[in-house]
């Protein structure tokens, strides 16, 4: 999948403190770096950025 970021879209996502590379990572389903912590006796993975990202797009 190729990405073509125009200035308007890059600026729009920047307002949400998201970089183009982060949005591409979500669309490519390439997992973010995670850290593991034990909680309630289970090992759990957490994103290093500590935020959940959802990306809406139109395929052309």
Predicted model pTM: 0.52
Question: pLDDT per residue over 22-51, tens digit each?
Answer: 888 777 775 556 677 787 888 776 666 656
pLDDT for position 48? 62
Range of the domain at 14: 1-60
What distance in Å separates the CA atoms of residue 40 and residue 51, rounded to the nearest whole number?
21
d(CA 6, CA 46) in angstroms, rounded, equals 31
pLDDT value, residue 25:
79
Residue 47 CB partners (closer than 8 Å, separation 6+): 32, 33, 34
Domain count, the chain: 1
3-class secondary-structure state, position 33: coil
């Amino acid at each position: 999948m190729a990405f073509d970021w125009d200035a308007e879209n890059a600026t729009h996502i920047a307002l949400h403190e998201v970089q183009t590379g982060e949005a591409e990572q979500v669309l490519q389903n390439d997992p973010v770096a995670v850290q593991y912590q034990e909680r309630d006796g289970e090992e759990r993975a957490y994103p290093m950025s500590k935020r959940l990202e959802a990306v809406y797009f139109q395929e052309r």
